[in-house]
Amino acid sequence: MSNTEKVITAKDFNPEAFASKVKDNDEIINELMDLILEKKEQIRFNSYETLRVISETNPERLYPKWQKLQELLTHKNNYLKFIN
């Protein structure tokens, strides 16, 4: 389990606080982009919530990742469509 996974699965996880800490960290943002495909609900949802906060507060950080986000909109998994 990566450090990011440990943080986002903690009982006291706060997506707003985590997003504020990692908004300028491309490595963690890329990891979160991968983790929104995770099978474990908690990891997937908390990754999504963190990215959602970043998209609202610093959308320019996710513009370079738009292609990957767009692909999720047409993904066969309806849950992935919903969270986007």
Q: Is 8 contained in some domain?
A: no
Distances (CA, A) of 13 to 39, 60, 63, 64, 71: 19, 24, 25, 26, 28
Q: Rounded to an integer, what distance in angstroms lies between the CA atom of residue 63 and that of residue 83?
A: 17
Q: Is 7 contained in some domain?
A: no
Q: Rounded to an integer, what distance in angstroms lies between the CA atom of residue 54 and that of residue 22?
A: 9
Domains in the chain, number: 1
Q: Is 39 contained in some domain?
A: yes
Inter-residue contact 57 to 23 (CB < 8 Å): yes
Q: Is 57 contained in some domain?
A: yes
Amino acid 84: pLDDT: 46
Burial level of 69, CB count in 10 A (0-12/13-18/19+)? Answer: middle
Q: Is 75 contained in some domain?
A: yes
Structural domain of 22: 15-83
Q: Is 60 contained in some domain?
A: yes
Amino acid 74: pLDDT: 74
Q: How confident is the model at residue 79 (pLDDT cuts 50, 70, 90)?
A: low
Q: Which of 44, 37, 61 is nearest to 5 (CA)?
A: 44
pLDDT tens-digit map of 23-70: 999 999 999 999 998 999 999 999 999 999 999 999 999 888 888 877
